[in-house]
Structure 1
């Protein structure tokens, strides 16, 4: 099972996106775990993720997160996808980054 972690400032708005991504994954029969956390929990929650996606508001922390979670792809979510809360689009992006 693939693990997708979304990180944002507080984990609030991103939790809406997680729900939409979970719905898209279910519709695609893609077995994965998707969760959102604040960036402050990256080291505790994301070190075993297959991909780490950053909310646009915290994309400037990509290098820091990558250092805390070595060997994991860390990618910012496209602002348009995030703004539209496009769960299917963000899931597709995550799958591309994982090669899944």
Structure 2
């Protein structure tokens, strides 16, 4: 079953490269995932329309974590700042899948 991973950052732009790196890591690992990015301002609407299995927040919007945890029907976590800065797709993918599978 396909896992749906949603990334949210302040504008949705900085996570687009991370989405690409995560998708490549998923392909390499044979994982069946759909990964997409959105702006934090649009994230609540996207939660309702897309129903992701996990929501990963960019470090720059970690202050919104509590709000998203109250609203989301899925696990929510902040992406590790180092992994985000290095655009470490495999590591962020692994964290997201762990949350999705345990959530």
TM-score range normalised by the length of the shorter chain: over 0.9
Residue segments in structure 1 that go unaligned for 5+ positions in a row = none
Aligned residue number for residue 65 of structure 2 = 62
Q: Say whether 1:34 aligns with 2:57.
A: no
Residue segments in structure 2 that go unaligned for 5+ positions in a row = none
| Cα RMSD, aligned residues only | 1.2
- SS in structure 2 opposite 1:46? helix
Q: Structure 1: how far apart are the matches of 2:70 and 2:38?
A: 17
Corresponding residue to 2:88 among 86, 89, 94: 86
Q: How much does 1:34 deviate?
A: 0.1
Count of paired positions: 99
TM-score, length of structure 1 as denominator length: 0.93
Q: State the Cα deviation string for residues 37-86 of structure 1 (Å, max 9, x = none).
A: 011111221241100000000011011122232x3111000001001000
Q: Structure 2: how far apart are the matches of 1:82 and 1:96?
A: 17
Name the stretch that deviates more: 43-52 or 77-86.
43-52
